[in-house]
Amino acid sequence: MGMSGSDERQDRGEWVNWSGSLRFSPSRIERPGSEEEVRQIVKRSCERGEVIRPVGAGHSSTPIIETEDVLLSLDGYRGLVGYDEERCQATVRAGTTLKEAGGFLADVGMAFHTLGDINVQTVVGAICTGTHGSGKSLKNLASILIGGRMVTAQGEIMEFSQQDEDLLRAMRVSLGALGIFTEVKLQLVPSYSLRRQEWCSTIDSCLENLHDLIESNRHFDFYWYPRSDRVKLRTYNLPGESYADLPYAELVEDRTGASHLVIPKVRTLRFNEMEYFLPLENAVDCFEEVRRRVKNDHRREVAWRVLFRTITPDDAYLSGSYGRETATIALLHNASLPFWRYFQDLEPVLLEYGGRPHWAKKHTLRARDLRALYPEWDTFVRIREKLDPQGVFLSPYLRGLLEAE
Ligand SMILES: Cc1cc2nc3c(=O)[nH]c(=O)nc-3n(C[C@H](O)[C@H](O)[C@H](O)COP(=O)(O)OP(=O)(O)OC[C@H]3O[C@@H](n4cnc5c(N)ncnc54)[C@H](O)[C@@H]3O)c2cc1C
């Protein structure tokens, strides 16, 4: 189901996100089953001066969906609207999850060019926060948005397409702050298989060979385990293009299958996470500093594992990978343990090396800090103000995030 944050909340009308670190009680949860219903809900809220926040599968762990007023879920509005085999494009309803879309797109010979670690997010939720996988030549998932339909703050339908270049650059990572997407048109690729290999090694061998690992794999990332100082390397390649052997690593998993089935995992162990997008050229130095600090100060109490990934640049105004070759460093911490001391100690290090925070993961930045990190920040802000001058979609948290004064 779309709203999969937690089960207990349903009875009390309380919202709890996936990791359990965020709770709030909206005055209403709306689940429209049609675009016309979405329009009516937005119009009503606009007249009453209420704040509406759209929610997908509730997997973000910053309060981007929090509102005291209306939480709007499109989990009753999902599925394939249409597709174009020749152009490899498809349109889906906004409640559709990556998993569902992966399935029905495979039936018509198409696939996502990349995926993150899991596939239970909605396609739109993933787009709105700039969700990404790993791979030096792979852009984030937001980059595949090429058109669609949105209900605006005035309760009107706005259709948009590839011609609306500036609008698309704003929409691609838009935090649900511009309007309610009802349908999204996606640029896909022909279905493909991947060979997934996982290897165990030491952090020193990994860092010595990092350049080669990044350059010679379609997808490469690694997890570092602070307590043992060992790593798990993950590579995904087109069959026939994979490593047969890495002399410094032990192969522990090797399987081949359709991309949408092989990339995502099911995560049962809940965790909180802080992830920053760094310029690729700073990433190793930054990682070394993170490693030093984690080993010195945090190894006893925390530091479950640290994830390192890469992303190709794009031009969405609020994208973490805007305009630069990017590597990300993510601190993962078991959800049952306190996380702020750990994250707040490491956040200045990630910032010092030029990091931008993942919108959906823990960070403490506000507009005054964020504005300097995104060269076209003001363009996004202007587009947002034009689309929603009254702030129908602007919760107090989003105001703090997007409004510098
Ligand atoms: C276990 C786990 C693994 C993860 N793995 C990765 C990963 O590998 N890579 C990565 O980059 N991120 C990852 N994430 C983060 C995750 O991809 C993002 O939080 C994503 O945004 C979640 O999608 P969602 O459907 O849950 O959306 P939500 O969290 O519910 O919402 C996300 C944003 O989308 C907006 N939104 C939702 N629906 C609409 C709509 N119809 N119209 C307008 N706005 C809308 C919301 O307002 C909000 O701003 C992971 C998170 C978890 C918990």
Three-class HEC string of 254-292: EEEEEHHHHCCCCCCCCEEEEEEEEEHHHHHHHHHHHHH
**What is the pLDDT tens value at each position of the chain, 405 positions in all?**
334 444 445 556 889 999 999 999 999 999 999 999 999 999 999 999 999 999 999 999 999 999 999 999 999 999 999 999 999 999 999 999 999 999 999 999 999 999 999 999 999 999 999 999 999 999 999 999 999 999 999 999 999 999 999 999 999 999 999 999 999 999 999 999 999 999 999 999 999 999 999 999 999 999 999 989 999 999 999 998 888 789 999 999 999 999 999 999 888 889 999 999 999 999 999 999 999 999 999 877 766 899 999 999 999 999 999 999 999 999 999 888 889 999 999 999 999 999 999 999 999 999 999 999 999 999 999 999 999 999 999 999 999 999 976
3-class SS at 182?
Answer: strand
Query: Which helix (H) or strand (E) segment is 297 a member of?
Result: none
pTM reported for the whole predicted model: 0.96
Q: What is the whole-number distance in angstroms between the Cα of residue 278 and the centre of ligand 1?
A: 20
pLDDT number for residue 337:
87
- Of all protein residues, whose CA lies closest to atom 44 belonging to ligand 1? 176
3-class SS at 185?
Answer: strand
Ligand 1 contacts (CB < 6 A) are 18, 53-60, 64-65, 74, 94, 116-118, 121-122, 124-126, 128-129, 131-132, 175-176, 180-181, 267, 360
Residue 293 and residue 345 in contact, taking contact as beta carbons nearer than 8 Å: yes
Supply the DSSP symbol for 393: T
Q: What is the whole-number distance in angstroms between the Cα of residue 236 and the centre of ligand 1?
A: 23
Index of the ligand 1 atom closest to the CA of residue 141: 11
pLDDT number for residue 303:
65
Q: Which residues, including other chains, have CB under 8 Å from residue 258's CB and lie 6 or more apart?
A: 106, 111, 191, 192, 193, 194
